[in-house]
A and B are shown apart, each in its own frame.
Chain A
Amino acid sequence: MSAPTKTRTPNTAELPGTRVELGIDEPLHLDCGAPLGPFTVAYQTYGRLNEAKSNAILVCHALTGDQFLAGDHPVTGKLGWWDVMVGPGKALDTGRYFVIGCNFLGGCMGTVGPAEINPATDKPYGLDFPVITIGDMVKAQKLLIDHLGIGRLFCVIGGSMGGMQALDWAVRYPERVFTAVPIATAARTSTQNIAFHEVGRQAIMADPDWCGGNYLLEGKRPHRGLAVARMGAHITYLSETALHRKFGRNLQDRKDVTYGFEADFQVESYLRHQGLTFVDRFDANTYLIITRAMDYFDLAEEHGGGVLAETFQGTEVRFCLISFTSDWMFPTAESRELVHALNAAAANVSFVEIESDQGHDSFLLDIPEYHKILSGFLAGAADHQVRCGAKAPSADE
């Protein structure tokens, strides 16, 4: 593999967007027992918050996403990860809704995480950063929503790990959420996904440049390990059909195989590129911490005494679950399990499975039917909100 490019993980203090100091009066009590605070959360907003503060949508990002949902991304130079979804006239219509993107706790785009400076030591946290959970991320986001003075979010939405946060929001703070849209997600992380995460983590830790987690102090970067972690994970986001259609067994810029270990095949070249561009924008310890957060996620265990239906008892949140036919990382069966549990609680739930051969990453893509359903669901929920008189609780409730 060729050497990584010169770029370094961005200096997050120079990123555009808004940062806020939270947990000042009282620290955030993490699930692991440690207190955290004060701490910084970085976020971006799109559209305008209406006077009644009843049009706010919180977008929870996935494993390697961030707060830059739409428009030009200040680090990658590409469009934000959900530009197809967020904007004027799009499903999350910024002419109508106030859309909030927030870098989750432990992230590396400005919110406190392992790459940020620990005020207690004046050095990067590294692996001193506590092992956090999806619930901790949601508790931090809730402080942000309090800070913004929003009593009840019109919608919490997210795909994959973002969907887990949306679920946790709906269960943890049901009175603060009008609708929840968990996409391509599950009530808990499957054995298979824990297994893939472990492979990624071991790849990072096997890189000598990881330095036992102290690479920032040692002036090194475990680029190779992190790139391999990304390459492996990237395969799980796609599907065999999509990979085959895109690359087949085609060779990369050559007529014959080289009888060596250069990237002979296009698919190898593609994965190497994915790995290399990823290390420019992502921190290795962050990757360890947040895959761990995802492993620990088990909604029923945490909120329902092991019974998923119990977690939703009496909920008034309106749910819309969406899955994709070719997603083998979060297969439809996992969404259906959630639907059954929600039905058992007589909850208000919609569930659709979208036809797509693009695998788990479908949730990021411009699939017209998917967008139409989402925008229809939100419009219907907004009508309903008006009918119920939008009796939103205030932010300090």
Chain B
Amino acid sequence: MNETPGRDGRPGGPPSAGAGEIRADLRLVADLVAPGTRVLDVGCGDGALLQFLTNSKEIDGRGLEIRQERVNASVSRGLSVVQGNAETDLRNYPSQAFDYVILSQTLQAIHDPRGVLEELLRIGKHAIVSFTNFGYWRFRLHLAYSGRMPVTDSKDHEWFDTPNIHLCTIRDFVTLCDALDITVERCFSVRRGGQTRRVRPSSALANLIGEQAVVLLGRE
């Protein structure tokens, strides 16, 4: 129930890509990062994206991850990752210290998405956020026909015990960005088969057919 695709084979997430490969939504995130830049990955999982970016774009990368076993896995593979909580620890980072701050498939589990979004754009010149779009037509149909909350991928979590507490549509997200004076510089949708497409943030169609969204944010 309500299980959104996680990072690095987290239960419910798409299967992890093989060596040298990377999941479609992560690949899209990676494509938005300029080479040789400073990157903070918030909720970096076991570090697959950081590793990919370090190898392919020679970034100066850091990670923050709440789950100890994932931090350990990341540090074991030579990545600079600290154990910590995005909601309390981002405030320690200095302003504009990174070129990109990435929040990939983590937004839905955050108690205060608005506060965290503000922090992302305080710390980074850009933020890259990816999330599951609950405006996706299958979710809408599921709710309409079964009268139950959408099931994105199955298994462990019912609506009452899911860690994913803040689910939104692309339109919801863009509305929040507007309210916070955050500019959506680029917006992409990812379809179930992995096809990605750049879309207008306000596009009603994108909000219907994209299962995932990846947005590049900035401040004027």
Could you tell me which A residues sit within 8 Å of B by CB distance? 318, 320, 336, 339-341, 343-346, 348-355, 369, 372-373, 375-377, 379-381, 383-384, 387
Stretch of B6-14, B89-97, B181-189, B197-205 contacting A (4+ beta carbons < 8 Å)? B89-97
Contact check, A351 vs B79: say whether CB atoms are below 8 A apart: no
Contacts of B72 in A (CB 8 A): 352, 354, 369, 372-373
Within 8 A of A (CB), among B83-118: 83-84, 89, 92-94, 97-98
CB distance from A347 to the nearest CB of B (A): 9
Contacts of B98 in A (CB 8 A): 346
Query: Is residue B68 within 8 Å, beta carbon to beta carbon, of the partner chain?
Result: yes
Contacts of B79 in A (CB 8 A): 350, 380
Bound: A352/B63 CA distance, A: 12
Query: Is residue B157 within 8 Å, beta carbon to beta carbon, of the partner chain?
Result: no
Answer whether A376 and B76 are a contact pair too, CB < 8 Å, given A340-B89, A346-B93: yes
Contact check, A350 vs B94: say whether CB atoms are below 8 A apart: no
Contacts of A336 in B (CB 8 A): 84
Contact check, A343 vs B75: say whether CB atoms are below 8 A apart: no
What is the interface of chain B mostly: helix, strand, loop, or mixed?
mixed
CB distance from A178 to the nearest CB of B (A): 13
Query: Is residue B138 within 8 Å, beta carbon to beta carbon, of the partner chain?
Result: no
Partner of A339, one of B76, B82, B97: B82
CB distance from A120 to the nearest CB of B (A): 49
Contacts of B164 in A (CB 8 A): none
Bound: A306/B97 CA distance, A: 23
Contact check, B78 vs A377: say whether CB atoms are below 8 A apart: yes
CB distance from A236 to the nearest CB of B (A): 25
Partner of B62, one of A340, A348, A353: A348
Could you tell me which B residues sit within 8 Å of A by CB distance? 38, 58, 60, 62, 68, 71-72, 74-84, 89, 92-94, 97-98
Contacts of B80 in A (CB 8 A): 318, 348-350
CB distance from B120 to the nearest CB of A (A): 15
Bound: A344/B93 CA distance, A: 4
CB distance from B77 to the nearest CB of A (A): 6
CB distance from B119 to the nearest CB of A (A): 12
Contact check, A352 vs B60: say whether CB atoms are below 8 A apart: no
Contacts of A387 in B (CB 8 A): 58
Contacts of A376 in B (CB 8 A): 75-78
Bound: A387/B78 CA distance, A: 14
Bound: A353/B67 CA distance, A: 11
Contacts of A346 in B (CB 8 A): 38, 93-94, 97-98
Bound: A376/B81 CA distance, A: 12
Contact check, B84 vs A352: say whether CB atoms are below 8 A apart: no
Contact check, A352 vs B94: say whether CB atoms are below 8 A apart: no
Contact check, B78 vs A351: say whether CB atoms are below 8 A apart: no
Contact check, B78 vs A349: say whether CB atoms are below 8 A apart: no
Contact check, B60 vs A345: say whether CB atoms are below 8 A apart: no
Bound: A345/B93 CA distance, A: 7
Q: Taking CB as reference atom, which chain A residue is nearest B79?
A: A380
Bound: A68/B82 CA distance, A: 32
Contact check, A353 vs B76: say whether CB atoms are below 8 A apart: no
Contact check, A344 vs B92: say whether CB atoms are below 8 A apart: yes
CB distance from A44 to the nearest CB of B (A): 28
Contact check, A343 vs B82: say whether CB atoms are below 8 A apart: yes
Could you list 6 A-B pairs, sorted by A, with CB under 8 Å? Answer: A346-B94, A349-B62, A350-B81, A352-B75, A376-B78, A380-B79
Contact check, A339 vs B84: say whether CB atoms are below 8 A apart: yes
Bound: A119/B122 CA distance, A: 60
Contacts of B81 in A (CB 8 A): 350-351
Bound: A387/B60 CA distance, A: 12
Answer whether A373 and B75 are a contact pair too, CB < 8 Å, given A318-B80, A348-B62, A352-B83: yes
CB distance from B109 to the nearest CB of A (A): 21
CB distance from B81 to the nearest CB of A (A): 6
Contacts of B84 in A (CB 8 A): 336, 339, 351
Q: Apart from A348-B80, A376-B75, A387-B58, list 7 A-B contacts with CB within 8 A.
A: A339-B84, A344-B92, A348-B60, A351-B71, A351-B84, A352-B75, A377-B76
Q: Taking CB as reference atom, which chain B residue is nearest A346?
A: B97
Q: Taking CB as reference atom, which chain B residue is nearest A318?
A: B80
Contacts of A345 in B (CB 8 A): 94
Max chain B C-beta neighbours (<10 A), residue from A346, A351, A380: A346
Contacts of A380 in B (CB 8 A): 77-79
Q: Taking CB as reference atom, which chain B residue is nearest A319?
A: B80
Contact check, A350 vs B75: say whether CB atoms are below 8 A apart: yes
Contacts of B75 in A (CB 8 A): 320, 350, 352, 373, 376-377
CB distance from B145 to the nearest CB of A (A): 46
Bound: A383/B78 CA distance, A: 9
Bound: A367/B92 CA distance, A: 31
Contact check, B76 vs A372: say whether CB atoms are below 8 A apart: yes
Bound: A230/B94 CA distance, A: 43
Contacts of A339 in B (CB 8 A): 82, 84
Contact check, B92 vs A340: say whether CB atoms are below 8 A apart: yes
Contacts of A341 in B (CB 8 A): 92
Partner of B92, one of A318, A343, A383: A343
Contact check, A350 vs B82: say whether CB atoms are below 8 A apart: yes
Contact check, A381 vs B78: say whether CB atoms are below 8 A apart: yes
Q: Taking CB as reference atom, which chain A residue is nearest B40?
A: A346
Bound: A353/B74 CA distance, A: 13
Bound: A380/B55 CA distance, A: 12
Bound: A352/B66 CA distance, A: 11
Bound: A383/B55 CA distance, A: 11
CB distance from B94 to the nearest CB of A (A): 6
